[in-house]
Amino acid sequence: MSSSFSSSAALVAESAPSPLTVAFSVQALAEPGVMPRVLELFAKRGLVPQRWHSTASETTLTIEVQIPGLDRELADYISRCMRQIHGVETVLTVETRHSG
């Protein structure tokens, strides 16, 4: 019976979803308050971006943020919050699931 239990436990462990790495791409107006407001969404949850890259032109700010270990529900919530920031025009997300 214990071998049956270990087989079942192994199947559950294999079928459990691995953590997501979520990349957020934000297009916004080039206003000074946008970047700290985006960063605040992660900071107040104790999350440190694995990668942060921003580019600004005279009128447009592009922010690329990559965060490992998020679940889909939290990633969706953060995306919705970003879309409500004044000056944010577009938020796209890409989810990558790593095995192992």
Q: What CA–CA distances, in Å, run from 7 to 14, 15, 16, 71, 99?
A: 11, 12, 14, 27, 20
pLDDT tens string 15-49 = 556 678 999 999 999 999 999 999 999 999 999 99
* Domains along the chain with CATH numbers: 18-97 (3.30.70.260)
Percent of the chain with pLDDT over 90: 71
**What is the structure's pLDDT at 20?**
83
pTM over 0.85: no
